[in-house]
């Protein structure tokens, strides 16, 4: 069976009450790597059972997507429906479940130390789960794996999870495993402490060496008891607290339990597993499990042993600051590690890239002069990780990564990012990846604040404090992608930032482009990413599962022809291209499963790289095998347009909501855009003006209103709104301002318009001035109060989940929310004093407020821009769906809510493609 036209089912692994689990191969990747697929398939297919199973299955997918950034929690790769059946897709690793491990503990093992390490590893993971308001509900030895690659515990099977809702008292379905379910969980009222009960039972098994059925229990109540021989030890007392029958007698959550466990004086000196822990599982003990954070790692470096999770007692910060830091860490991991590194083309060539010391490339301080001719290039020891090299530099470390195009510089940078995330602990700088292609000339600190806001959805106030307080570790990719006339200036700005702030920094650049800079970086160290060796190339091609025998034969024939005709250099040039991991992967994806005779002969009159990329693009349309929404011609045209605009605007990561008016390349296009935006503004001005000044002043109102909108909002800058968050401080300040200035502004507007257009009537009517003054003051007070309430929703908070075009969606939500407040509340108040007030007036006023404060104007301008580009045939109507389709064809990669080409060379290939003759709509 083939699922989603991608996953080849190999065999069934297991079956439970609500589903089946299969081992499958991913046919879209070289070597068809294995993965695990969980199918929704209830054994008892009654209506009620199916309803429960569907809910739990969807909840498992949502939970894994939310929690999958943690080192020891499964990562969700896909969630899809086919033929009415639902499937979850996860990676596969070798490991051993805790049930088997507990049976293998030898008699010489220090059980106290082993149990302590077991509980500490499990509680640190469970703390992250509880901090995200999730109750696991099915913690048992079968659902805990010892990952063979690094011997860490992995918590799996989130099929019984429940979201914790504070204050909720309703019962739920009793789900769990007998013996590990707390009493309140059996009664349908689970809480965080319910998970701790299961952890305590597991700890009791580990400490005593007895199975669950062998544990002593109270004959009357059935409650578990601590054996007499261990009852007075610190660890036994801790476990006894975990298995109390009343949840109030246990620790409230895993964070506090982990903190208490770490305080045990006799055991807390050693958090790692003792040397006497059970042996690593052999191949015969292999257990199908899940690949977890960081994805794609099969043999972590020994230096990466510290967990990035810690209890709340270790680092004193406010809860908001902790959440903000964790949010950025999660985003960096999800965007760059899961979204890019895990699916990188380089990642398909599982070879270790060599590194060389290249400090000659740096402008070292203290006037030290390096003679490049006499200074030999020093290759770092084989297997040396960039992480260990970076750690060796110490506090204030700075590193420059150099290499040739396609050599793996970005992959090396992201591998370093992954290792930094893995060992991150509270109090350390937050590693965050930025692409320098969007730098436009400002100071680096201001640029970082702007990038945090646009790429990671970090409010500028938070980003400013992080930069000023040196809480970031910027990893800057693509110095060579900065516009040529700005590149040297960018290097100078980086040096100035490094001098002013003394931060930790990493910069990545192509070797030739770096050597052409007028100013070199003043960093501590520089490394050069070496090309693949002959041995590495042949070793990769010889792997049986890759299906690259045809490519190997082609390269061998090319080398033979080159030896026979050395002047042609054709074969050697083709083999030299294969030294680039990127090009080798392009060759692998293009020619996988094809014999040498079927591979087209490359023309010497055209660039080999161009021919390879053209063949790659063609193969991606052929090998995917699914009926896409878009034709090949449409896909190529729109990808070409995207590549050209990213090149012209010096961008690498494309976010739909960050499209700007500079995408319009002709005067007619800009004129059409301006007409659409101004028309929308005039419609709002008409609605308001009609009810404020009536017909006699409507033309003037339209002119004034349209001019004010254009001046305030601007026509050529689109800034999506941020996530709403209530701030009492901002609300109080805005209310004070609104109550102070609102009545005055309302009075001035009312008096000015009345005397400007009805002066004769008002002068001849007694009490007119008093009446219009009262109305103006009331109107201004209402607007001031509304302004204060609306501005209260401007607190800074980081958006946790990002989706394509989320910024515009958030702007639309804000606009609707603010328009309702600014319509209903003032109308209700005004109607109490003046029943003749038209609801249409307040509807128009509310819409105006939505434009002014809620992001409505961003929606208007973004919609106008998209409409013009669509009518020109440069983008599809549903842009997000098209970009996802292109990502499925391995042309693009998802980076959070944005997209990047799988490599800069592929972007350049699309940008240089000839324009199609036929226009698409």
pLDDT tens digits, 165-181: 554 545 676 777 888 99
Query: What's the alpha-carbon Rg for the chain, to the nearest Å?
Result: 32
* Cα gap 298→296, rounded to integer Å: 6
| Cα 198 to Cα 31, 201, 204, 306, 851, distances in angstroms | 40, 5, 10, 26, 53
Residue 123 pLDDT: 93
Lowest mean pLDDT among 49-53, 467-471, 847-851: 847-851
> 10 Å Cβ neighbour count for 40?
21
Query: Which pLDDT does position 330 carry in this prediction?
Result: 81
Give the mean pLDDT of 636-647: 91
Q: Write down the pLDDT at residue 494.
A: 94
pLDDT cut 90: percent of the chain above it: 12
What whole-number percentage of the chain has pLDDT above 70?
69
Measure CA 774 to chain center. 54
The model's pLDDT over 449-461, given as tens digits with 9 standing for 90+, comes to 988 988 887 888 8
What lies within 8 Å, CB to CB, of 285 at 6+ separation is 96, 100
- The whole-number pLDDT of residue 249 equals 85
Structure token digits, residue 399: 């590193």
Instruction: Give the mean pLDDT of 3-21.
Output: 82
366 vs 504: which has the higher pLDDT: 504
Band (pLDDT 50/70/90 cuts) for residue 368 is very low
Beta-ladder partners of 505: 398
> Which residue out of 26, 91, 97, 138 is catalytically annotated?
138
Q: What is the pLDDT of residue 229?
A: 63
| Mean predicted confidence (pLDDT) in 155-161 | 78
**Range with the poorest average pLDDT among 544-553, 592-601, 826-835:** 826-835
Integer distance in angstroms from the first to the last C-alpha of the chain? 38
C-alpha closest to that of 786 among 836, 721, 833, 853:
853
More confident residue, 919 or 121: 121
Q: How confident is the model at residue 831 (pLDDT cuts 50, 70, 90)?
A: low
Q: Which residue has the higher pLDDT, 304 or 708?
A: 708
Average pLDDT over residues 620-632: 71
Instruction: Between 25 and 277, name the one with better pLDDT.
Output: 25
pLDDT for 374 beyond 70: no
Does position 43 have pLDDT exceeding 50, yes or no?
A: yes
Task: Residue 134: name the closest of 147, 142, 145, 125 by CA.
Answer: 125
Strand partners, 146: 96, 153
Enumerate the β-bridge partners of residue 893.
900
- The predicted-structure confidence for 302-312, as pLDDT tens digits, reads as follows 333 333 333 33
Residue 821 is predicted with a pLDDT of 64
Tell me the mean pLDDT in the region 198-220: 87
Task: Inform me whether the pLDDT recorded for 26 exceeds 70.
Answer: yes
Q: What is the 3-state secondary structure (H, E, C) of 405-462?
A: CCCCHHHHHHHHHHHHHHHCCCCCCEEEEEEHHHCCCCCHHHHHHHHHHHHHCCCHHH
Q: E strands of 462-514, at which residues?
A: 472-477, 505-510
- 444-448, 494-498, 886-890: which has the minimum mean pLDDT? 886-890
Angle, helix 768-791 to helix 839-853, in steps of 10 degrees = 40
Query: Could you tell me if 750 and 742 are in contact, meaning their C-beta atoms sit under 8 angstroms apart?
Result: no
pLDDT confidence bin for 416, thresholds 50/70/90: very high
Sign for the pseudo-dihedral over CA of 73, 164, 306, 96: negative
Indicate the range of 39-48, 95-104, 341-350 predicted with least confidence.
341-350
Q: What share of the chain is helix, strand, coil (3-state, %, to 5)?
A: 50, 10, 35
**pLDDT greater at residue 609 or residue 471:** 471
Q: Rounded CA gap, 121 and 656, in Å?
A: 41
Average pLDDT value over all residues in the chain: 75
Residue, of 196 and 731, whose pLDDT is higher:
196
Does residue 606 carry a pLDDT above 80? Answer: no
Most confident residue range from 354-358, 533-537, 870-874:
870-874
Q: Is 285 a catalytic residue?
A: no
The tens digit of pLDDT for each residue in 454-508 reads: 888 788 888 898 998 889 999 999 999 898 889 999 999 999 998 888 778 999 9
The confidence score (pLDDT) of residue 436 equals 92
Q: Does the pLDDT at position 692 exceed 80?
A: no
Q: Which residue has the higher pLDDT, 167 or 528?
A: 528
pTM of the model: 0.55
- The yes-or-no verdict on residue 298 having pLDDT over 80 is no
Greater pLDDT, 163 or 448: 448
């Amino acid at each position: 069976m083939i699922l989603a036209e991608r996953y080849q089912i190999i065999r069934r692994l297991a079956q439970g009450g609500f589903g089946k689990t299969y081992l499958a191969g991913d046919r879209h990747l070289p070597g068809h790597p294995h993965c695990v697929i969980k199918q929704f398939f209830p054994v008892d297919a009654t209506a009620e059972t199916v309803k429960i199973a569907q809910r739990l299955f969807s909840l498992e997918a949502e939970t894994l997507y939310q929690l999958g950034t943690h080192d020891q929690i499964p990562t969700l790769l896909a969630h899809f429906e086919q033929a009415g059946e639902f499937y979850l897709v996860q990676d596969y690793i070798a490991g051993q479940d805790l049930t088997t491990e507990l049976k293998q503990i030898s008699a010489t093992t220090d059980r106290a130390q082993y149990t302590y390490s077991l509980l500490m590893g499990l509680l640190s993971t469970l703390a992250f789960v509880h901090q995200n308001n999730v109750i696991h509900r099915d913690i048992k030895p079968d659902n805990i794996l010892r990952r063979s690659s690094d011997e860490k515990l992995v918590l799996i099977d989130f099929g019984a999870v429940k979201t914790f809702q504070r204050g909720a008292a309703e019962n739920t379905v009793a789900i769990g495993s007998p013996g590990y379910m707390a009493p309140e969980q059996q009664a349908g009222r689970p809480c965080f402490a319910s998970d701790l009960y299961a952890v305590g039972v597991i700890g009791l098994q580990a400490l005593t060496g007895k199975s669950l059925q062998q544990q002593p229990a109270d004959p009357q109540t059935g409650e578990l008891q601590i054996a007499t021989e261990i009852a007075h030890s610190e660890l036994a007392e801790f476990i006894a607290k975990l298995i109390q029958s009343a949840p109030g007698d246990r620790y409230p959550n895993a964070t506090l339990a982990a903190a208490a466990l770490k305080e045990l004086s006799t055991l807390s000196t050693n958090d790692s597993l003792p040397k006497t822990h059970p042996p690593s599982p052999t191949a015969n003990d292999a257990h199908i499990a899940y690949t977890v954070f960081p994805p794609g790692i099969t043999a972590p470096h020994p230096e990466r042993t510290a967990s990035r999770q810690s209890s709340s007692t270790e680092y004193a910060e406010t809860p908001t600051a902790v959440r903000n830091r964790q949010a950025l860490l999660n985003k960096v991991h999800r965007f760059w590690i899961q979204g890019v590194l895990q699916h990188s083309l380089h990642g398909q060539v599982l070879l270790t890239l060599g590194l060389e010391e290249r400090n000659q490339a740096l402008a070292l301080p203290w006037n030290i002069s390096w003679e490049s001719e006499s200074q030999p290039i020093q290759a770092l020891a084989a297997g040396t990780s960039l992480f260990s090299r970076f750690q060796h530099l110490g506090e204030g470390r700075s590193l420059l990564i150099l290499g040739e195009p396609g050599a793996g510089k970005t992959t090396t940078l992201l591998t370093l990012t992954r290792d930094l995330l893995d060992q991150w602990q509270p109090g350390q700088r937050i590693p965050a990846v930025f692409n320098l292609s969007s730098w436009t000339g400002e100071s680096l600190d201001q640029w970082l604040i702007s990038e945090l806001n646009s790429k990671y959805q970090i409010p500028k106030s938070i980003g400013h404090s992080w930069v000023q307080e040196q809480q970031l570790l910027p990893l800057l990719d693509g110095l060579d992608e900065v516009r040529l006339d700005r590149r040297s200036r960018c290097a100078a700005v980086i040096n100035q930032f490094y001098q002013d702030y003394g931060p930790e920094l990493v910069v990545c650049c192509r070797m030739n482009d770096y050597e052409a800079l007028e100013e070199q970086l003043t960093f501590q160290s520089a490394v050069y990413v070496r090309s693949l060796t002959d041995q590495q190339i042949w070793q990769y091609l010889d792997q049986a599962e890759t299906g690259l025998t045809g490519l190997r034969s082609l390269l061998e024939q090319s080398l033979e022809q080159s030896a026979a005709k050395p002047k042609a250099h054709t074969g050697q040039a083709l083999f030299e291209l294969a030294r680039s991991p990127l090009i080798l992967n392009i060759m692998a994806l293009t020619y996988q499963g094809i014999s040498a005779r079927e591979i087209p002969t490359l023309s010497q009159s055209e660039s080999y790289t161009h021919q390879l990329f053209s063949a790659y693009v063609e193969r991606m349309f052929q090998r995917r095998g699914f009926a896409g929404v878009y034709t090949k011609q449409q896909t190529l045209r729109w990808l070409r347009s995207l590549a050209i605009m990213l090149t012209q605007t010096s961008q690498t990561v494309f976010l739909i909501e960050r499209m700007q008016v500079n995408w319009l390349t002709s005067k007619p296009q800009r004129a059409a855009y301006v007409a659409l935006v101004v028309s929308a503004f005039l419609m709002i001005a008409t609605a308001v003006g009609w009810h404020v000044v009536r017909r006699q002043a409507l033309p003037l109102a339209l002119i004034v209103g349209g001019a004010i909108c254009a001046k305030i909002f601007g026509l050529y800058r689109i800034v999506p709104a941020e996530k709403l968050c209530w701030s009492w401080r901002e609300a109080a300040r805005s209310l004070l301002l609104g109550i102070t200035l609102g009545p005055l502004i309302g009075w001035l507007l009312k008096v000015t318009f009345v005397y400007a257009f009805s002066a004769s009537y008002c002068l001849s009517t007694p009490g007119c001035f008093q009446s219009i003054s009262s109305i103006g003051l009331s109107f201004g007070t209402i607007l001031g109060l509304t302004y204060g309430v609306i501005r209260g929703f401007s607190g800074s908070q980081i958006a946790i989940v990002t989706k394509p075009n989320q910024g515009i969606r958030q702007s639309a939500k804000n606009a609707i929310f603010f328009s309702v407040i600014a319509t209903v509340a003032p109308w209700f108040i005004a109607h109490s004093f003046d029943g003749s007030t038209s609801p249409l007036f307040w509807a128009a006023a509310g819409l105006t407020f939505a434009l002014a404060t809620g992001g409505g104007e961003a929606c208007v301008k973004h919609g106008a821009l998209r409409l013009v580009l669509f009518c020109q045939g440069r983008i599809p109507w549903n842009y997000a769906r098209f970009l996802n389709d292109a990502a499925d064809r391995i042309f693009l990669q998802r980076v959070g809510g944005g997209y990047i080409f799988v490599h800069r060379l592929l972007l350049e290939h699309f940008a240089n493609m000839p324009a199609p003759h036929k226009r698409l709509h």
